[in-house]
Amino acid sequence: MIISVLSFCTGLLFANDKYEKAMQANIDAIYNAQSPEQIQAAINSFERIGAAEKSKWEPFYYASFGYVMMSTRELDGTKKDLLLDKATEGLNKAKAIRADESEIVALEGFVYMMRVTVDPATRGQQYSGMAMQTFGKALSLNPNNPRAMALLAQMEFGTAQFFKAPTTSACEKATKSLEMFESYKSENALAPAWGKESAMRVLKQCN
């Protein structure tokens, strides 16, 4: 009996280690991708992993993140929306597994923020509010999530610029997010590590 239990535990550890190694390789690939094709290749891998690991939210999260990253490089509004639609599909799968995960909610806010960029004049009012509300929800789930704070700062800064309003609050949030990035720690080995550059871009415009 003891041998059976030990064998079962060893099998679980091996499976988890294999999962983490496969995930980490593709996370590194998506962070370092130089082209949409490279991002798509990583997305395809995440989707395959997600199909096999049905209880894990991370593959769907990173597949969604990949589509958001592709949308930031796309100039055609229709194509950008299609990429964001795919990002939303991935997020819905991730939320079905872990609805209270702050990182998933923060990325959902990022999708709304990118929707604004397709046509700020007509979409700003709807999607800016949705983005800010979603970033706020992400921070309520985890007040120490630096990505949520950095994205909120970016959204606030862009909105303030659009309406020619003071950017003081956005700049304060960007500063706070950088402090959060310095102290941020996660027990999840596959936790996201992106977002610091967004805060730094905002701060450069603040000075």
Give 51-86 pLDDT, tens digit per residue.
999 999 999 999 999 999 999 999 999 999 999 999
Tell me if residue 119 falls in helix, strand or coil.
Answer: coil
User: Taking the CB of residue 36, how many other CB atoms lie within 10 A of it?
Assistant: 16
User: Taking the CB of residue 160, how many other CB atoms lie within 10 A of it?
Assistant: 16
Q: What span, in angstroms and rounded, lies between the C-alpha atoms of 6 and 128?
A: 52
CATH number of 109-207: 1.25.40
State pLDDT tens for residues 120-172.
999 988 999 999 999 999 999 999 999 999 999 999 999 999 889 999 999 99
Q: Are 138 and 148 in contact (CB under 8 A)?
A: yes
Instruction: Give domain limits for the chain.
Output: 1-99, 109-207
Q: What span, in angstroms and rounded, lies between the C-alpha atoms of 30 and 25?
A: 9
DSSP string computed for 26-87:
HHHHHHH--SHHHHHHHHHHHHHHHHH-TT-SHHHHHHHHHHHHHHHH---HHHHHHHHHHH
